[in-house]
């Protein structure tokens, strides 16, 4: 009986090891993905309603965070968005009156209908 086992692969022929992970770069990538996902969620009127119902728009820290997220309007960031309506909502969220109006379900339904009509005729 002959031995059909493959010869061992010499170390120099093996795949090169993965480059070391830069923890700062990895942290920045994770932050980018989290903020991208959150900004895109703002495209949903019903998500905005949930945020209003849970009192997020009453928290100064959260309102400041929404202001910080305006950097997504820059072209180099906006290109990653699948739902550009999110940027419109992000701008509207800078206004206290809009944030307060989101507690009214009729406003949410109207916003949803307006968004649907825009997409339907695009």
pLDDT band of residue 117 (cuts 50, 70, 90) is confident
Element (H, E) at 64: helix 60-68
Rg (CA), the chain: 24
**pLDDT, tens only, 44-66:** 999 999 999 999 999 999 999 99
* Domain boundaries along the sequence of the chain: 44-122
Average pLDDT over residues 82-95: 96
- Give me the pLDDT at residue 7, please: 75
- Give me the pLDDT at residue 99, please: 98
Tell me the CA distances in angstroms from 90 to 1, 67, 68, 69, 98, one per residue in order. Answer: 73, 8, 10, 8, 11
**pLDDT, tens only, 17-33:** 778 888 899 999 999 99
Q: What is the mean pLDDT of the chain?
A: 91
- Give me the pLDDT at residue 92, please: 97
CB 40 within 8 A of CB 83: yes
- Give me the pLDDT at residue 46, please: 97
* C-beta atoms surrounding 116 within 10 Å: 11
Q: Is the pLDDT of residue 3 over 70?
A: no
Average pLDDT over residues 33-49: 98
Tell me the CA distances in angstroms from 73 to 13, 44, 80, 88, one per residue in order. Answer: 47, 17, 11, 9
């Amino acid at each position: 009986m002959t031995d059909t086992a493959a010869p061992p692969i010499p170390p120099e022929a093996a795949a090169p090891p993965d480059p070391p992970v830069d923890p700062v770069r990895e942290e920045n990538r994770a932050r980018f993905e989290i903020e991208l996902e959150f900004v895109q969620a703002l495209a949903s009127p019903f998500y905005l309603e949930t945020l209003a119902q849970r009192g997020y728009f009453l928290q100064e820290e959260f309102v400041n965070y929404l202001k910080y997220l305006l950097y997504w309007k820059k072209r180099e960031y906006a290109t990653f968005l699948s739902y550009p309506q999110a940027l419109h909502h992000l701008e509207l969220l800078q206004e206290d009156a809009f944030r307060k109006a989101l507690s009214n379900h009729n406003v949410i339904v109207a916003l949803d209908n307006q968004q649907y009509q825009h997409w339907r005729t695009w």
